[in-house]
Structure formats: C-alpha cells, structure tokens
C-alpha cells in the first residue's frame, strides 16, 4: 500500500509540471517592445545639399614630343617639361602643388610594322590654390611648351567641412521624413538603429581645353550633396 501511495504522488507531481510547462507558469520572459524587433522600423532616405563657390582649380598639363629614336623623344620631352615646371613655379604655383602623373615613350606607327618615329609624353597635375590666377598659370605653361591641357577640376579648399554640413543636413532630412511617416501611422519614432551613406557621384570629368592669350576661368557655383539611408526604431 505504501508503495502504491508513493507512485500516485509522483504521478500527480509529473502532471502538475507538465501543465505548468504548457501554460508558461514559472518561465521568465524578457520585456519587449515593437522597437526591439529588428524586423520592425522605419527606413528613409535623406538628402543634404550645400551650395558653394569653388576657390581652387586642378589641371593636368602635358608635354608630347617626337623624335627618330626613343632616347631622343624622351630627352626632348624632359627638357621641355623642365621649362614648363619652371614656368609654373614662376607663375606662383608651389612645388608641393606640382606632381608627376605619368611618363611614356613608345613607337609611332604609320600604317606599317616599322615605327616612323617615337613619341614621348609627360603629364603633371597642378593645383592652383588661388582660382583667380588659374588663367595666368595656364598661359604661362602653354608659353613654356605644354601642348596638352586637361581640366579644370574646380573645388573648395574647405570641402571636408562642407561635406560634413551636407551629411548633417541629410540626417536631419531623414529624421523629418521618418517623423512624418510615424505620425501618419500613429506610432512613436525611436532611436536610430542603422545608418548608411551613399557615396557621392563623380562630379564630372576632365575636359580638353585650348590655351589662349588670356584663358578665362569662371568659377560659377558648385553643389555638394550627401545622401544617407537611416533606419529608426518604432516605439
């Protein structure tokens, strides 16, 4: 009898534990809100723009020479480029703002397998930090023998701070858009859970330019744009 009573008590205890497991009694649960679910939130795109006037110009200046031999073409090219660099420095361009980009020499074929002559080229990039002097710098380089001119690429000396301002405006724009969506949906906007910047598009490319007696360089205006994608939690 005593053994049967013990067996019944054990069976009842097991039944109670099973009911508790199914109903969730005694099981701890963490508090959750809708915003904690990584699948919920509001994702929007914000755009910030800053308009500015360029104050710097960058050019690529090149010298191309020809000769009967590769050595002759390269030697003539080196002499000519030295004159161009000297003219750039005399026009006020600092040495640190002149950088060699590439030097090439090769055969120049004219319809058959044997080269008629050899062509050498040398290209330097030049940064003009005072935009109003860009035309005079180009003229000086052309007079010294630069026969390839590409540019200008106009920019701002404080571009990084302007980009930061555009990014801040883009985030503010994203928050305003998300707030409008949250209000329309009747929910509260929570904290930022993700943010991603879209790389800015390439702003044009170099243009081939012809040198003149007085080369006009008009700065115009330039727009710096930033685009971000921001995800906000919902509370």
How is 171-203 classified by DSSP, letter by letter?
HHHHHHHHHHHHHHHT--EEEEEEEEEEPPPP-
pLDDT in tens, the chain (235 residues): 444 444 444 444 444 334 344 344 344 333 333 444 545 799 999 999 999 889 899 999 999 999 999 999 999 999 999 999 999 999 999 999 999 999 999 998 776 667 789 999 999 999 999 998 999 999 999 999 999 999 888 888 898 999 999 999 999 999 999 999 999 999 999 999 999 998 875 443 333 333 444 577 777 888 899 999 999 999 8
| Helical H segments across 102-230, by residue range | 134-144, 159-185
C-alpha to C-alpha distances, 215 to 167, 180, 221, nearest whole angstrom:
36, 51, 19
Report which secondary-structure segment, H or E, holds 104.
strand 98-109
Distance CA 104, CA 202 (A): 27
pTM score of the predicted model: 0.62
pLDDT at res. 58:
94
- What the block records as the tokens of 72 is 């002759």
- What the block records as the tokens of 209 is 């330019």
- Which residues contact residue 151 at a Cβ distance below 8 angstroms, ignoring those fewer than 6 apart? 57, 58, 59, 60, 206, 207, 209
- What the block records as the tokens of 180 is 């409008």
pLDDT at res. 200:
72
Q: Are 213 and 23 in contact (CB under 8 A)?
A: no
pLDDT at res. 174:
95
pLDDT at res. 201:
58
């Amino acid at each position: 009898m005593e053994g049967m009573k013990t067996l019944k008590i054990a069976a009842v205890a097991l039944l109670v534990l099973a009911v508790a497991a199914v109903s969730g009694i005694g099981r701890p649960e963490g508090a959750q809100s809708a915003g904690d679910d990584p699948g919920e939130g509001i994702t929007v795109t914000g755009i910030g723009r800053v308009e500015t006037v360029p104050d710097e110009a960058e050019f690529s200046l090149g010298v191309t020479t020809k000769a009967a031999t590769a050595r002759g073409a390269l030697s003539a090219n080196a002499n000519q480029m030295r004159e161009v660099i000297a003219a750039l420095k005399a026009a006020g361009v600092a040495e640190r703002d002149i950088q060699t980009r590439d030097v090439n020499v090769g055969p120049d074929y004219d319809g058959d397998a044997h080269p008629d002559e050899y062509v050498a080229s040398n290209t330097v990039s030049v940064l003009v930090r005072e935009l109003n002097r860009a035309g005079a710098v180009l003229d000086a380089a052309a007079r010294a023998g630069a026969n390839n001119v590409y540019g200008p690429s106009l920019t701002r000396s404080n571009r990084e701070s302007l980009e930061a301002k555009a990014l801040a405006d883009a985030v503010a724009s994203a928050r305003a858009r998300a707030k409008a969506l949250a209000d329309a949906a009747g929910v509260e906007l929570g904290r930022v859970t993700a943010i991603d910047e879209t790389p800015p598009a390439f702003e044009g490319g170099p243009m081939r330019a012809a040198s003149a007696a007085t080369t006009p360089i008009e700065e115009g205006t330039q727009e710096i744009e930033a685009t971000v994608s921001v995800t906000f939690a919902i509370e």
